[in-house]
């Protein structure tokens, strides 16, 4: 379990990273500066998570996905189109993705706890906190 689910999470993170970067480049509107900066914070955080998850997979004896094709084949996150997009559309999309990621992370944590895999479980604790806060803040922004 831990390597397979963690590899799927790695794929989701990799696709989300590129999606956020796409939005960062193509955001349009009077709130451009704020949204542009926030998206950079999000994708930098996801980028750190990509490396961390891949290293955890290796630490527990697995082989993380490493190619863009593997990421796309195993991710449930949909890529963003290459087009101008408003902040409200971006926030709705990111909120949906972050909720999906949080749910996946919680499921990984439950299974890791059941298997006494504390390395994976403790890593998921950090992501639960991080995504819960981001979701709360996005909901406040959209409201």
What 3-state class would DSSP assign to 116? Answer: coil
Six-digit token string for 110: 């439950």
Q: Could you give the CA distance from residue 64 to residue 82 in angstroms, rounded to a whole number?
A: 28
The two tokens of residue 2 are 């831990």
The per-residue DSSP string of 38-103 comes to: HHHHHHHHHHHHHHHHHHHHHHTT-----SHHHHHHH--SPPPPSS-EEHHHHHHHHHHHHHHHHH
pLDDT values of the chain reduced to their tens digit, one per residue, 143 residues: 456 889 999 999 999 999 999 999 999 999 999 999 999 999 999 999 999 999 999 999 999 999 999 999 999 999 999 999 999 999 999 999 999 999 999 999 999 999 999 999 999 999 999 999 999 999 999 98
State both tokens at 91.
């926030």
Integer Cα distance of 81 and 12 in angstroms? 17
pTM: 0.95
């Amino acid at each position: 379990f831990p390597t397979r689910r963690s590899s799927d999470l790695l794929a989701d993170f990799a696709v989300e990273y590129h999606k956020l970067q796409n939005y960062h480049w193509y955001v349009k509107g009077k709130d451009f500066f704020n949204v542009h900066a926030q998206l950079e914070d999000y994708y930098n955080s996801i980028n750190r998570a990509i490396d961390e998850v891949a290293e955890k997979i290796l630490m527990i004896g697995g082989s993380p996905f490493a190619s863009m094709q593997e990421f796309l084949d195993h991710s449930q996150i949909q890529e963003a189109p290459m087009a101008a997009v408003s902040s409200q559309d971006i926030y709705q999309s990111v909120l949906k993705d972050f909720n999906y990621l949080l749910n996946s992370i919680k499921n990984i944590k439950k299974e890791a706890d059941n298997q006494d895999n504390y390395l994976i479980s403790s890593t998921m604790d950090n992501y639960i906190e991080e995504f819960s806060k981001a979701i709360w803040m996005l909901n406040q922004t959209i409201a």
